Structure 1
Amino acid sequence: MGSANASGDLSSEMEVDAFRRLFPLRFHERHLLESIRPDARPLGKARETTLALGAVASADGSAMAKIGCTTMLAAIKMEVMTPATDSPDEGCIAIDFHMPPICSPLVRPGRPAEAAPVVSKQLSDTILSSGMINLKELSLVSGKAAWMAYLDIYCLDADGALFDAALLSAVAAFSHLQIPVVSLNDDGRIVLVSDGIEGTKLETEPVNKDKRTLKLRSIPFSLTCILHKNYILADPTAEEESIMETLVTVVLDSSCQLVSLYKPGGPVLAHTSAIQDCVALTRQRVKELQSILNEAIADMEVD
């Protein structure tokens, strides 16, 4: 009898899997009727989220963020540059988002992923417009030297809500950032103290005496939601994104002030109540993400 039951269970699982593959939207809508998702999450709940700071030893700042299976690795490298003439007292930030073929079967070798430049621009716009980083803190010598922060984010697993995970990894990497010590050599040029060549004369007082961190403010956090009929699904998986068109990404800062709202494609929303509900879900998510970030920073300080 046990063998017969096991055979029946296996047959039932195969039938469910076949139905999911053949009619994915109907499969998900059956779950929506019960206000639950196929992964057993309530509609408004995000997936389990983890953060690890210092994931790349050779970087000046780094972090790995996971939201469900979606995994991002962010690394920052600092280089000295000559500041722009119109902003002599400011440094710069350059952000690149990479989607190698390992992250998704939809990304083909030799072909750039369509989503990569879109996410890169969203990240740049969000980080700069939020005011999280005061670019004046990246200045070294007015008009002569400033820091360029190169932030590279690699998507290791693309299972939905890419921007949310990428932004979280970026924020965490900047929280972990240690700005290197630099000094003036005998030619008046800025050099990294750690890179000083033996025999090169350095002034006794470096430009910045110790490695230092950035003072982050108005830290942005985001939540992507799917709007489908009368339902709102927070933190969608890649499967959910592929079968339901209307995506909305809300970005709030650490004070829950609106930074930006993205809605790529999909039908025009007839009611603003759906957006308000998305903002309310994002407020709850901001508290969760702040707590996760603070715990990661505390763990790093203990280590």
Structure 2
Amino acid sequence: MANGTAKPPGLAFSRETFAKLTPAPFLQAHLQQPEPIRPNGRSLDAFRTPTIHTGSLSHSNGSAVVRLGDTAVVCGVRAEILLASDIPHPPSEDTSEDDLVERLGLLVPNVELSTGCSPDHLPGNPPSTSAQALSYRVLSLMHTSNLIRPGDLSIQYMEPASDDDLPDEGPKTVTKAFWTLYIDVMCIALDGNPFDAPSYLL
């Protein structure tokens, strides 16, 4: 017969189990050390190395897949032509190129989080406030970083010389249309800052 005074066996979890059951206390236990370090060995100011694959989607004009830790994001770019004749209120010639891109809406990013990428973003839900804020931040980043030159979105045509042109006049260049870029960003897995991965996509 077993001794009734024997102590029950201690309950101990492995490092991996503790991290899965209580991720927040597990992280805090590492950060509150005299020399703070992340559970994966990174220092507080060390960045994850991203993995980027381009041309992953064959049905888009451009695409990329970015993995940043356990975060995975897919981006597809679709280009459409906006005819100058379809613009209801054409901008004046004095409008700067930067203002022209913003006024005509030639860059249209859309960040989708409702993909089941995390428990907070279940599939089928309408666009969340976070997704709309991310879309705006991506748009602001594209405008402020000068990533795309406004002149590259202009489709121009050089008119042939006519009998009415003066001899010293050169060929006249006319803007016939503009490229509109629809940038669709879909978050497949979210485990960290949702803005970091889309910024690498651009």
TM more than 0.5: yes
**Partner residue in 2 for 1:86:** 91
* 1:138 maps onto 2:153 in alignment: yes
The whole-number CA distance in structure 1 between the counterparts of 2:92 and 2:114 is 35
Matched residue count: 161
Alignment counterpart, residue 197 of structure 2, candidates 159, 165, 174: 165
The whole-number CA distance in structure 2 between the counterparts of 1:129 and 1:87 is 23
* 1:104 maps onto 2:118 in alignment: yes
Q: Contact 2:71 / 2:189 at 8 angstroms: preserved in 1?
A: yes
The whole-number CA distance in structure 2 between the counterparts of 1:110 and 1:148 is 27
Identical counterparts, % of pairs = 29
Q: Which runs of 5+ in 2 are unaligned?
A: 1-8, 157-173
Deviations 1:112-136 (A, max 9, x none): 3331101100000011111121111
Q: Which runs of 5+ in 1 are unaligned?
A: 1-6, 172-303
Q: Structure 1 residues 86 and 157 mapped into 2: Cα distance closer, same or farther (>3 Å)? A: same
Give the SS at the match of 2:14: helix
The whole-number CA distance in structure 2 between the counterparts of 1:103 and 1:151 is 19
The whole-number CA distance in structure 2 between the counterparts of 1:98 and 1:66 is 16
Amino acid in structure 1 at the alignment position of 2:150 = L
Q: Structure 1 residues 15 and 69 mapped into 2: Cα distance closer, same or farther (>3 Å)? A: closer
Structure showing the higher helix proportion among its residues: 1
TM-score (norm 2): 0.69
The whole-number CA distance in structure 1 between the counterparts of 2:78 and 2:20 is 48
Q: Contact 2:107 / 2:183 at 8 angstroms: preserved in 1?
A: yes
Q: CA deviation at 1:74?
A: 0.8
* 1:40 maps onto 2:38 in alignment: no
**Partner residue in 2 for 1:30:** 29
Deviations 1:34-70 (A, max 9, x none): 3211222211111231000101011111111111111
* 1:52 maps onto 2:53 in alignment: yes
The whole-number CA distance in structure 2 between the counterparts of 1:137 and 1:150 is 15
Q: CA deviation at 1:102?
A: 2.3
The whole-number CA distance in structure 2 between the counterparts of 1:19 and 1:58 is 38
The whole-number CA distance in structure 1 between the counterparts of 2:45 and 2:73 is 23
Q: CA deviation at 1:14?
A: 7.7
The whole-number CA distance in structure 2 between the counterparts of 1:156 and 1:121 is 20
Give the SS at the match of 1:123: helix
Give the SS at the match of 1:95: strand
Q: Structure 1 residues 131 and 150 mapped into 2: Cα distance closer, same or farther (>3 Å)? A: same
The whole-number CA distance in structure 2 between the counterparts of 1:125 and 1:19 is 36
The whole-number CA distance in structure 2 between the counterparts of 1:18 and 1:157 is 18
**Partner residue in 2 for 1:297:** none
The whole-number CA distance in structure 1 between the counterparts of 2:19 and 2:148 is 49
The whole-number CA distance in structure 2 between the counterparts of 1:19 and 1:100 is 23
**Partner residue in 2 for 1:187:** none
- Give the structure, 1 or 2, with the largest relative contact order (CA under 8 Å, sep 6 or more): 2
Q: Contact 1:100 / 1:156 at 8 angstroms: preserved in 2?
A: no
Instruction: Decide which structure has the larger Cα Rg and report it.
Output: 2
The whole-number CA distance in structure 2 between the counterparts of 1:24 and 1:102 is 21
Q: Contact 1:79 / 1:148 at 8 angstroms: preserved in 2?
A: yes
Q: Structure 1 residues 15 and 137 mapped into 2: Cα distance closer, same or farther (>3 Å)? A: closer
CA RMSD of aligned residues (A): 2.9
Q: Structure 1 residues 46 and 15 mapped into 2: Cα distance closer, same or farther (>3 Å)? A: closer
Q: Contact 2:71 / 2:190 at 8 angstroms: preserved in 1?
A: yes
Deviations 1:249-286 (A, max 9, x none): xxxxxxxxxxxxxxxxxxxxxxxxxxxxxxxxxxxxxx
Q: Contact 1:97 / 1:117 at 8 angstroms: preserved in 2?
A: yes
Amino acid in structure 2 at the alignment position of 1:129 = T
Q: Contact 1:82 / 1:143 at 8 angstroms: preserved in 2?
A: no
